[in-house]
Amino acid sequence: MSATRKRILIVGGVAGGASCAARARRLCETCEIVVFERGPHVSFANCGLPYFVGDVIQSEASLLVATPVLFQDRFNIQVQTETEVIRIDRGGKFIEVRDLKSGDARIEPYDALVLATGAQPIRPPLPGIDLPGIYVLRTIPDSRKVKAAVANASRAVLVGGGFIGLEMAENLVHRGLEVTLLELADQVLPPLDPEMAAYAARRLRTNGVNLRLGEGVEAFAKRPDGLVTVRTSRGKTIDTDLVILGIGVKPESSLARVAGLELGALGGIRVDEFMRTSDPAIWAVGDVVEVKNRVTQEWQLVPLAGPANRQGRIAATAIIHGSQEDESAGSPPMTFDGILGTAICAVFGLTVAATGASEKLLRRAGINDYQRVYLHPGHHASYFPGAKPTHIKLVFSTSEGRILGAQAAGEADVARRIDVIATAMMKGATVYDLEDLELCYAPQFGAAKDPVNVAGMVAANHLRGDLPLADWAELERVEALLVDVRTEAEYHTGHIPNAQNIPLESLRGRLGELPKNREIWLVCGVGQRAYYAIRTLMQNGFRVKVLSGGMHTYQTWSDATDHLERPT
């Protein structure tokens, strides 16, 4: 087959499939490109669905990024909707497809095949799971059903505290519903560490969401009056008008499995850096593939739209140009070199974002050579009106200072800070690089030391030995003397049990009150005054550590770990 007359077939026409098709056309004017999509729409905005249900996006048409007609007219790409691919014959290099309207099946030969079949929501085999009133949210038809149900509802139960569960909670509250959110784990937002996810949990609760952590669903039943009864793992029952399941997705890899393509242990299709499967004529992109985590080097499923789109471009490029360097331009081959899992979510005005590995992920991967710092700088200069705190956790390797991950929560500019760190991480940056980043500043936009710089400085100070850090997890067992260096007034608004108050301003005059034969742990509001204090104390021969992030972090540790006492 001539390279210029390839027949490229793409299964699935949303994020990965649509971007692969469009890129293939841009690179090859003579190729025949056909997209098969089981559903009624291509290239629609799944990510907008919660906001469509919430009426933030009012017109369904706004969710359609492109239509089959646009694909045909603008790109000369044939899109066949409501057409399911039911079999791959690798030896014969053809697929069997079925027209879902007529039921007719036919054979379609290919030179290159791309599987962009995505993922499907998990529906656990619980009693009553198929009862009416229990929904998932993946497609436009799904969202229509949920939206219709919401119109006649006053109560909803959301199962699962991931990104979609949280977005739905906000949207349903805005629609006037009483919302219960059940999450089996002891935190929401699984990609984050518990103490950072606690910011989102608190925000949900203060906005009226009945958040029940550590409580899953065991069964559903239908009542005679039409309500659904949800029985929880704690033996409680909740009567509700509707239930939305948001407990994750699993890769739609059955076509690949039946065709004998290599799958990973997590059920996703295994691909190389060109998105090629174990069959050299078949590529796979998007939620259906397993990806290597850039930090842990472990295989993962990361169902996000950005990677799906980029992988679609990479597969198209490899199909048209092969896996070679573009020698004419001298540019490197386009490859997918792993994932950071950069993700973001907003809930009732709070933005939560993360990139790289959480501590949970590092521990699971057996990586222990890491440290963490917490900080809470304003999103812009504090003297300019309206500064909002940005709560940041930075995780980095002890040996080299390489950034391993970052998580942040706040009301403004959170995305920018995480995006900067993600960009730095893509280049293998260290905390010393973050200290040194030159970022834009005017008082309404940032600070002369941007929060990202400050994160680097705190971490680098720690690694240089200027700022020894205490471990929050050790707080309960610690034999060190706890010293709170905030003002007396602040101390009396709430403090860690047994902490002694020596305000920073009086510290130099009260050194005689402090022991030299016992470790001292310092805490303040956010960590800055404790840093000033530790520099004084270290230079006077005391053994000192700082509780990173101060009382702000204490609050979230307390929220995340019930066993810690709250400030009085």
Give the interface with ligand FAD as residue ranges (CB under 6 A): 11-12, 14-17, 36-39, 46-47, 49-50, 84-85, 116-119, 137-138, 164, 252, 255, 286-288, 303-306, 308
Task: Give the span between the Cα atoms of 564 and 553, in whole angstroms.
Answer: 12
Q: Which of 280, 268, 281, 339 is nearest to 310 (CA)?
A: 339
The torsion region of residue 300 among left (phi > 0), alpha (psi -120 to 50) and beta comes to beta
Write down the least CB distance from residue 485 to ligand FAD, Å.
Answer: 41
Q: How many CB atoms lie within 10 A of CB 468?
A: 16
3-state secondary structure of 5: helix
Q: Tell how strand 390-397 and strand 370-375 pair up.
A: antiparallel
- Provide the 8-state DSSP code for 259: T
- Provide the 8-state DSSP code for 332: P
Q: How many CB atoms lie within 10 A of CB 264?
A: 17
Considering only the C-alpha atoms of the chain, give the largest distance between any 2 of them, rounded to a whole number of Å: 89
Tell me whether residue 440 is one of the annotated catalytic residues. Answer: no
Q: Active site residue: 20, 28, 345, 524, which one?
A: 524
Q: How far is residue 158 CA from its own chain's centroid?
A: 19
Write down the least CB distance from residue 466 to ligand FAD, Å.
Answer: 39
Report the residue number, 232 or 317, with the smaller CB distance to ligand FAD.
317
Write down the least CB distance from residue 46 to ligand FAD, Å.
Answer: 3
Write down the least CB distance from residue 475 to ligand FAD, Å.
Answer: 35
Write down the least CB distance from residue 36 to ligand FAD, Å.
Answer: 5
Task: Give the span between the Cα atoms of 534 and 467, in whole angstroms.
Answer: 7
Report the residue number, 92 or 386, with the smaller CB distance to ligand FAD.
92
Q: Which of 93, 94, 67 is nearest to 79 (CA)?
A: 67
Report the residue number, 15 or 228, with the smaller CB distance to ligand FAD.
15
Report the residue number, 116 or 157, with the smaller CB distance to ligand FAD.
116
Q: How many CB atoms lie within 10 A of CB 144?
A: 14
**Contacts with 560 (C-beta within 8 Å, 6 or more apart), sequence order:** 186, 187, 194, 195, 197, 198
Q: How many CB atoms lie within 10 A of CB 92?
A: 10
Distances from the Cα of 565 to the Cα of 195, 365, 496, 554, angstroms:
15, 31, 8, 10
Sign of CA dihedral 420, 425, 428, 431: positive
Report the residue number, 183 or 435, with the smaller CB distance to ligand FAD.
183
Task: Give the span between the Cα atoms of 288 and 272, in whole angstroms.
Answer: 14
Task: Give the span between the Cα atoms of 426 and 441, in whole angstroms.
Answer: 23
Report the residue number, 164 or 459, with the smaller CB distance to ligand FAD.
164
Where do we find the tokens 């001292």?
520
Write down the least CB distance from residue 457 to ligand FAD, Å.
Answer: 31
Task: Give the span between the Cα atoms of 485 and 546, in whole angstroms.
Answer: 11
Report the residue number, 79 or 457, with the smaller CB distance to ligand FAD.
79
Write down the least CB distance from residue 49 to ligand FAD, Å.
Answer: 4
Rg (CA), the chain: 27
Write down the least CB distance from residue 79 to ligand FAD, Å.
Answer: 11
Answer yes or no: are the C-beta atoms of 433 and 420 closer than 8 Å.
no
Task: Give the span between the Cα atoms of 157 and 169, in whole angstroms.
Answer: 9
Report the residue number, 209 or 308, with the smaller CB distance to ligand FAD.
308
Which value, to the nearest 10 degrees, does the dihedral of the CA atoms of residues 52, 58, 64, 70 take? 180
Report the residue number, 195 or 287, with the smaller CB distance to ligand FAD.
287
Write down the least CB distance from residue 256 to ligand FAD, Å.
Answer: 10
Active site residues per annotation: 524
